[in-house]
């Protein structure tokens, strides 16, 4: 799988990140998304979400996530629905952000 947005990142490199680091990298894109939602900048919102999708896809292909794959892919599915919505409700997005952070015991302690 070749990344379009994270050109210097492939699955082998991604697998060297701890699960916590993977979640934090995805969370960074979620944080950027949240900021652009507040500014109502649709193109930037979509750019951030596209980068988040790419990282989620890398995560889904990491064998360490096999036990949580169903939940990870469900999060991706709900995020895709959010992506397609015309109205990007920040409160609904924050709920998705909180769900993402619950994937790891360390990141679950982060407050948005």
Three-class HEC string of 16-48: CCCHHHHHHHHHHHHHHHHHHHHHCCHHHHHHH
Burial per residue of 62-75, b for 16 or more beta-carbon CB atoms within 10 angstroms, e otherwise = beebeeeeeebeeb
Distance CA 65, CA 63 (A): 5
Distance CA 37, CA 30 (A): 10
The whole-model pTM stands at 0.91
Q: What are the residue ranges spanned by the domains of the chain?
A: 17-109
pLDDT by residue for the chain (112 residues), tens only, comes to: 566 767 688 899 999 999 999 999 999 999 999 999 999 999 999 999 999 999 999 999 999 999 999 999 999 999 999 999 999 999 999 999 999 999 988 888 888 8
Q: What pLDDT was estimated at residue 68? A: 93
């Amino acid at each position: 799988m070749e990344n379009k947005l994270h050109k210097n990142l492939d699955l082998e490199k991604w697998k060297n990140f701890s699960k916590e680091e993977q979640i934090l990298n995805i969370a960074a894109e979620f944080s950027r998304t949240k900021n652009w939602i507040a500014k109502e900048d649709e193109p930037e919102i979509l750019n951030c979400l596209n980068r988040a999708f790419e990282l989620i896809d890398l995560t889904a292909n990491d064998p360490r996530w096999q036990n949580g794959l169903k939940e990870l892919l469900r999060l991706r599915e709900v995020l895709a629905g959010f992506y397609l919505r015309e109205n990007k409700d920040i409160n609904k997005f924050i709920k998705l952000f909180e769900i993402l952070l619950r994937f790891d015991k360390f990141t679950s302690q982060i407050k948005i």
